Amino acid sequence: MACQKKRLKARPHPLMDNSTHSVTAHAKVNLALHVTGQRNDGYHLIDSLVGFADFGDQISAKLTDENSFEICGPFAPALKDEDENTNLIIKARDALAEFASENGIKIKPVSLVCEKNLPVASGLGGGSADAGAALNLLTKLWQLEISESKLTEIALGLGADVPMCLKSEPLIAKGIGEELTSVRPFPKCHIVLANPMVAVSTPVVFKALKTKQNVVLKSELKFSDFQELLATIKANRNDLQEPAIEHRPIIAECLNALLKTNPACARMSGSGASCFALYDNEDNALAAAQTIIGNHHNWFVKPTFLRAKN
């Protein structure tokens, strides 16, 4: 699929590195998501167990003489009418450039490419994952000396989910998503992601949530092997699943399609419409994905695995 290049003005700089660097913006999967309150500014408080899939958008960067930005890949058409200034990759670039300027650090313009492999507005953190990956990539490419706390502060300024995507590892997120606790050990486990190709408005789903003062994650959280992880997930829930299904009933059809493949468990991720199912081995995950693809040709279906942490 052809990419449309967008040129932006930038100052030249003598830094020399013409190689292209790429990273994966790993899909964020909310294995459990409890909504525990709402702040006066409207932000919802959450308590969420988050894993990251070994699949996602690809972000590439190369130092050039002029800033540019491209979006390509299977889901690029969904963003063709987007104002580039609202794209979180551009916002991440500009935020880091501002940090560099404020600290007297000269940086060179950069050519950025996003290969959009995840559906848009799908509950898999696509935009936030792109921003987190861009922050990590540009920090290294520009050789910025920036503290972890400052980088996290910049990430939070881009969106509540960006700090967790900046870490891109198994974690528990609290607050509005900025209070992060790494989870380790965390087992590698096989997962199938499925989306019935409908976009879901997160604000609409939150607004439809009947109760916003729900209990936090259960305290007995264990993850040393697949069975412990599975028990932890089953002991908790996604508070947004019911209102999301009311908003987009096809989500229930997606969940049922996954459940028919006899997974260890199945649930919606984030605010939807993407759902996931976990399997005890790769063969079962691959077979399940093929079954769903065969019955739903137009859906997004991806067998992959949740990244482990030792």
91 is catalytic: no
Q: How far apart are CA 261 and CA 280, in angstroms?
A: 12
Q: How far apart are CA 115 and CA 13, in angstroms?
A: 27
Q: Which residues of 140-173 are buried (b: 16+ CB within 10 A; e: fewer)?
A: ebbebebeeeebbebbbebbbbbbbbbbbbbbbb
What is the CA 75 to chain-centroid distance, rounded? 15
End-to-end CA distance of the chain: 38
The alpha carbon dihedral of 280, 283, 284, 288 has a sign of positive
Q: Which of 47, 57, 130, 161 is catalytic?
A: 161
161 is catalytic: yes
Residue 68 class from Cβ within 10 Å (0-12 exposed, 13-18 middle, 19+ buried)? middle
Q: Which of 28, 62, 108, 302 is catalytic?
A: 28
Catalytic residues: 28, 161
